[in-house]
Amino acid sequence: RITPENEGWKISPHFRLGDFDLHFDYTTPESPAINQFPQYIALYPELVAKLEQIIDGLAEKGIEVETLGLLAGFRSPAYNEWKKKQGGVGGKYTKGYSTHMYGAAADFFVDRDGDGVMDDMNGDGVSDQKDAMWIRDRIVDAVDCQAKDEKNGLAGACGTYGEHDVPDRLPQTPNLHVDVRGYHQARWFINSKDVMVTDGAHWEKHPCPGEEPKKPVAAQAAPAKTGQESSE
C-alpha cells in the first residue's frame, strides 16, 4: 500500500517504494481514477535485487548512477487493460498477462544527466535502441548468466526499445524491459519496421561464460497478441 507518506521510503540502496507505482505524470486526463493514492502494488524483492545488480554492473564499467530511470514498474490489471486500448505505441506492445502486473518487471533507462533521455552508452553520439542493446549485452546478460548459474531467482527476459510506450510521457527515450520470471531468458527488440522481434540467436552470439554457444535460431517476429503472452 503506497501513500504520499511512504512513497519516499528507501527499500534498497538506490530505489524508493514510490519508484514502482503508477506515476501520475505518465497518465492522460481520462485515467485519474486508475492512478491515485493509495495505490496497492505487487513487487517482487527479486526485481529490486536485479536492478541493484544492474547498477553494480554499470559501476564495474565505470558508469556511476544514483538510480535508474524507471518508466514502469507495477501495472494494475485495470491500468494494463486501459493501456492496451491506447493507440500507437502506447498499446501496441502491452500484453494481456504482462509480468508488470505481478510486480516482476521494470522498464528503465540510464540517465546520468537527468534530461529524461537514455544516455549515449555506446559512444556513437546519438541516443537510440543501440544504447539499450549495449546495456543488455554487457550488463543484463551478465546478471542473467549469474542468475542461471546460482539459481537465485533473478533470471528473466530482456527487451530493448527505441522509444517508450507510456502514453503522454515526454520526452521519448530508448529503454529496456527486464523481469524476474525465473525462466526463459528471452531476448527481443523492435526492428526498423516497428515490429517486435524475438531474437532466438542472441545467446548464440552472447553465450554465458563457460557455455558452448547454442545452435543459432533465426530472429522471428512476435506472434499477434492473443491475450496470453507475458513477454512484456
- Helix, strand, coil percent content, the chain, rounded in steps of 5: 30, 15, 55
- In this prediction the pTM is 0.87
Q: Which residues contact 64 (CB under 8 A, 6 or more apart)?
A: 58, 112
Runs of H (alpha helix) within the chain: 45-60, 77-84, 89-92, 129-135, 141-150, 202-205
Give the residue with greater pLDDT, 207 vs 76. 207
Cα 104 from Cα 74, distance rounded (Å): 8
Strand partners, 25: none
Over the chain, what is the mean pLDDT?
Answer: 86
The whole-number average pLDDT for the span 146-170 is 88
Backbone phi and psi for residue 209, each to the nearest 5 degrees, phi listed first: -55, 130
How far from 66 is each of 19, 46, 107, 153, CA to CA, in Å? Answer: 13, 19, 17, 25
Q: Is the model's pLDDT at 224 over the cut of 50? A: no
Residue-level pLDDT at 183: 82
Q: Is the model's pLDDT at 161 over the cut of 50? A: yes
Residue 178's nearest CA partner among 52, 90, 91 is 52
Runs of H (alpha helix) within 102-140: 129-135
Q: What angle do CA 171, 144, 77 make, to 5 degrees?
A: 55
Backbone phi and psi for residue 220, each to the nearest 5 degrees, phi listed first: -130, 145
Q: What angle do CA 224, 185, 23 make, to 5 degrees?
A: 70
**Residue 32: band (very low, low, confident or very high) from pLDDT cuts 50, 70, 90:** low
- Round to the nearest angstrom and report the end-to-end CA distance of the chain: 24
Q: Is the model's pLDDT at 148 over the cut of 60? A: yes
Backbone phi and psi for residue 102, each to the nearest 5 degrees, phi listed first: -100, 5
Per the rule left: phi > 0, alpha: psi between -120 and 50, beta: everything else, 88 is left
Cα 7 from Cα 4, distance rounded (Å): 6
Lowest-pLDDT range of 15-19, 83-87, 116-120: 83-87
The whole-number average pLDDT for the span 80-101 is 78
